[in-house]
Chain A
């Protein structure tokens, strides 16, 4: 049961570089999400996707791009990394949007922008 996996787990990059965080789930869940988690803040939604080829902005989308060409993959790209994007990034998935459906998280990707 592979579940939901993220790569890389740890990344250090330089300001201005493009970085892509990968997310893969094996459950065929319809919904996928990208969150960032920073000290003192709750999880903040960056982007989400209801199905392949359907994506939508969350609370903090600026500076990020997503795509979902296949149901199981949901990569997150930082087009030109900034120090403020240093964070822990969690990918997540759920079966449906309706209440009560548990969101399952990947292990997280720790990104440092120097």
Chain B
């Protein structure tokens, strides 16, 4: 079957760096997405990786290794507003998005 694994919850300190991992096993691969979801709100797009390597966007970076079925989202200079759930999703060979259950990130002052 198809599977996306992410940690359920992580805690970090304001100003620090945190890495959220995502491993996947899917039927084919057409890209990996990261979304941010604040409590009670809709998911919003953060990043897309289809080739191996690191994509940087301001304080957020996303890394992909297709051979390892692995990605991570790196958040730098953490702010209280970064407290949210982070969703990893993989697009399979049928262009269907398979979603992880999300990682709840708690930021402490």
Contacts and interface: CB of A to CB of B under 8 A. Distances in A.
Given A41-B101, A42-B4, A42-B87, A99 B45 contact: no
B33, B45, B99 interface centre (most CB from chain A within 10 Å): B99
A17 to B, nearest CB: 25
A108 B41 contact: yes
Interface residues on B, range: 20 to 34
Contacts of A102: 33, 45, 48
Interface string A75-114: 0000000000000001000000111101111111000000
Interface string A2-44: 0000000000000000000000000000000000000011111
Interface string B1-15: 000100000000000
B42 A42 contact: no
B42 A105 contact: yes
Interface stretch (B58-66, B75-83, B90-98): B90-98
A103 B30 contact: no
11 contacts: A42-B87, A42-B98, A43-B89, A45-B97, A99-B30, A100-B50, A103-B33, A103-B45, A103-B97, A107-B41, A108-B40
Interface of B: 4, 30-31, 33, 40-45, 48, 50, 87, 89, 91, 95-102
Given A102-B33, A103-B97, 6 more contacts: A42-B100, A43-B43, A45-B97, A99-B48, A99-B95, A107-B42
